Amino acid sequence: MEALKNHIQQHINIERTALDLLEPYFEHRVLKKKEIVLAEGQVCREKFFVAKGCLQMFFVKPNGIEQTIDFALEHWWTTDFSAFGKHVPSQYTIRSIEPTELYVLSVAQQTALLEALPAMEQYFHRILHIAYAASQHRVKYLYQYSREELYRQFAAQFPAFVQRVPQYMLASFLGFTPEYLSEIRKKPVP
């Protein structure tokens, strides 16, 4: 659990010995490529810390096409935050896009953990602050840029990621067809 412990220590001031208390609350889960950890329509009882690999979040449109709405790379948390803990079905599917290692925290274990180690409230407060800040900027980008500019911005900010993720999935995330993305990529950068 070194990846998670390091991540916590990056965000809050906590003793290493206190972090040793964490282990029983988390489940270590190893996924192959294309394994589903949360399925659309399934009650959402877990959230996921990516120690290694990458998760894709999507929903299926009425025409059957998978619409990617998010990715979670190393050291990101993801889940259907609305469904988590409400005992309602998830609106999204979460699936690995490459071999992935997770630390999984269930609703019940989160409750127990926060009672045993209240400093973790501070950690989750920080994490969600950062996630929400990123989503404010994402909404801004969606209003501010044309589709082509959106891709260029994204490629400039996350060059390694653009290489790593399948192109049809990246196109879906940016709201393009794969053909349109391929056209943009062939054009010289303005």
Q: Strand pairing partners for 117?
A: none
CB 97 within 8 A of CB 34: yes
Which residue lies nearer to its own copies by CB, 52 or 126? 126
Q: Residues 18 to 57: which contact its own copies by CB under 8 A?
A: none
Q: Residue from 30, 39, 88, 128 that binds its own copies (CB under 8 A)? A: 128
Task: Mark the segment that binds its own copies (CB under 8 A) among 96-104, 120-128, 155-163, 179-187.
Answer: 120-128
Task: Mark the segment that binds its own copies (CB under 8 A) among 33-41, 48-56, 95-103, 116-124.
Answer: 116-124
Distance, first Cα to last Cα, the chain: 44
Query: Which residues here bind its own copies, judged by CB under 8 A?
Result: 59, 61, 67, 69-70, 80-82, 84, 91-92, 114, 118, 121-122, 124-125, 128-129, 131-140, 142-144, 175
